[in-house]
Amino acid sequence: MPITISRRVARPAAIHWPDTLHPRLQSIYAARDVQSVVELERGLASMLRPQQLKGLEEAVLLLVDALEKRQRILIVGDLDADGATSSALAMLALRDMGAADVQYLVPNRFDFGYGLTPEIVEVAKTRQPDLIVTVDNGISSLDGVAAAHAAGIKVLVTDHHLPGAVLPDAQAIVNPNQPGCEFPSKNLAGVGVIFYLMSALRSRLRDKNWFQAQALSEPNMGVYLDLVALGTVADVVPLDSNNRILVHQGLQRIRSGRARPGILALLDVAGRSRQRLVASDLGFTVGPRLNAAGRLDDMSLGIECLLCDSPDLAREMAIELDDLNKDRRAIEAGMQQEALKSLESLSLDGDQLPWGVCLYDSQWHQGVIGILASRIKERFHRPVIAFADANEKEIKGSARSIPGLHIRDALDAVASANPGLLTKFGGHAMAAGMSLKKEGYPRFQQAFDLVVRESLSATDLQAEILSDGELMAEEMNLPLAYTLREAGPWGQHFPEPIFDGEFYLVQQRIVGEKHLKLVLSLDAQGQQIVDAIAFNVDVSLWPNNGAKKAKLAYRLDVNEFRGRESLQLMVEYIEALPEA
């Protein structure tokens, strides 16, 4: 569909930028609402302190008591990369701090669904835990916490998802988004929350001379930052200044090789150099391979890969995860074709295509519907919910939204207007999950579309790329590409710089079935040449040998081939221009 390229507008700010900061980078930061150079600090000394997290004191006391009494602790995690890294971090940190018995349990999505449900508590009871610690889930687990208490099990909830009107009756809750929490950053991922809790626990144990008394080496919290970086980027939470510190520090550890063997192995099987690692590599290469375990099989494989201390064994598990990811991609491709067929009879130009798109097929794989929803959303720029069978009577949906629509709030509006329609739901601004009875699907389709139409305008349905402007010819060079690479980490709500401009087309060819390799010129005479690549183009439109010029939105990148580095444009959007 057509895409509008708009220029970012910088909010005025009285900032004295360092003289060493590239002028182009100054405008890029200003356009991302950076109001102080302090926001650009990436050292651990600038990280927010944990004391403002509501529930922290109660949570620390619970854990200290469990350690001192040598109680059995059970970590209950989530099904995705954030949940896997959270589970692994909790396991490793508690072991390092002297926990006598710490285990993990991650629900299989096909048998138990999401979170601390009464059903998963029944499984947990076979482990006979004294304390359950949820990571990346639990804030909506009212029934699960009640079931645990009925079984005599204490519960500590650590989560970052938005809470409902009622909180679970846990012994302690640590969640920056719970009512009354004054922690300045509401954007921590689940792994960030458990990292902060473990940091506070270490401080308390140090004050009690615990490590000396137990003949333990006091753990360095920095060793867990590779996990924090991976989970934070993979969960696509906003990279505010605090999250950028966590991700930057984790990236530095991974680049230097001081990372979990499992993370290094996943990078290796994905063909990514750890020395050149950027945040997007965690999101687009490591995260999907880790997620594949939870989508198609059992996330325990992903957690074991992260926990593994043996590089050889970690590589074996990374290869298995890579194979699962290949299977996931094949399943997704088939589902996407089926989804597009069901939509192809509808016109994008008229009102026939719903503003809020719902898709359902009884044969679809419930572990892949989230990715399917994301792909359809990207193609049509509308909020999308993809559904698959949960069982004979119920279907599960995975939603992805566009800017302007808070998807969890939209589901809340549907639920309020249609009592009993949704059996459960939860999530973030841009992604959410839900369940409903099969017979309620047609009613839900209409209700969701209505809420979306009430929340958005037609303008919101126009896909837009925000550009940082046009680069001058003298800026089209490797030094600026290096500067931008190291100026992040870039990610959600702190996007990597995109530029736009018109170029002369010197060469066009398809590589790898659907990627367009380009040689471009900045001038009609071909005096300044630059390479570019556009991934997953419409091969019915490109190559376009009739086009002499094109309008591009692109990122600057450093391409490495056979030891030689060169400038390359990563094309986000290409549009052929008519001849003048």
Please give the pLDDT value at position 351: 53
Q: Which stretch of 111-125, 235-249, 311-325 has the lowest confidence by average pLDDT?
A: 111-125
Q: Reply yes or no on whether the pLDDT at 490 is more than 90.
A: yes
Residue 536 structure tokens: 């997953």
Q: What is the pLDDT of residues 215-231, one digit of tens each?
A: 999 999 999 999 999 99
Would you call 220 helix, strand, or coil by DSSP? coil
C-alpha 170/C-alpha 507 separation (Å) is 63
Angle of helix 441-455 versus helix 407-417 axis, rounded to 10: 120
Q: What is the pLDDT of residues 173-209, one digit of tens each?
A: 999 999 999 999 999 999 999 999 999 999 999 999 9
Domains and CATH numbers, the chain: 46-321 (3.90.1640.30), 345-461 (3.10.310.30), 468-577 (2.40.50.460)
Q: Reply yes or no on whether the pLDDT at 516 is more than 90.
A: yes
Alpha carbon distances (Å) from 362 to 153, 254, 332:
38, 42, 15
HEC sequence for 393-444: CEEEEEEECCCCCCHHHHHHHHHHHCCCCEEEEEECCCEEEEEEEHHHHHHH
Length of the chain: 580
Give the confidence band of 10 by pLDDT, cuts at 50, 70, 90. Answer: confident
For residue 165, the tally of other CB atoms under 10 A from its CB is 6
Please give the pLDDT value at position 212: 96
The set of residues, in sequence order, having a beta carbon less than 8 Å from that of 61 and lying 6+ positions away, is 172
| Predicted model pTM | 0.91
Alpha carbon distances (Å) from 114 to 88, 91, 290, 532:
18, 20, 17, 42
Q: Reply yes or no on whether the pLDDT at 349 is more than 50.
A: no
> What's the mean per-residue pLDDT of the chain?
93
Over range 4-12, report the average pLDDT.
Answer: 84
Q: What is the pLDDT of residues 89-140, one digit of tens each?
A: 999 999 999 999 999 999 876 667 678 999 999 999 999 999 999 999 999 9
Over range 256-269, report the average pLDDT.
Answer: 97
Q: Reply yes or no on whether the pLDDT at 348 is more than 50.
A: no
Give the confidence band of 79 by pLDDT, cuts at 50, 70, 90. Answer: confident
Q: In which residue are the tokens 């620390």 written?
A: 60
* For the ranges 16-20, 489-493, 524-528, 536-540, the one whose mean pLDDT is highest: 489-493
Report yes or no: 539 and 515 within 8 Å, Cβ to Cβ.
no
The set of residues, in sequence order, having a beta carbon less than 8 Å from that of 70 and lying 6+ positions away, is 100, 101
Angle of helix 23-31 versus helix 478-486 axis, rounded to 10: 40
Q: Which stretch of 77-86, 319-328, 333-342, 475-484 has the lowest confidence by average pLDDT?
A: 333-342
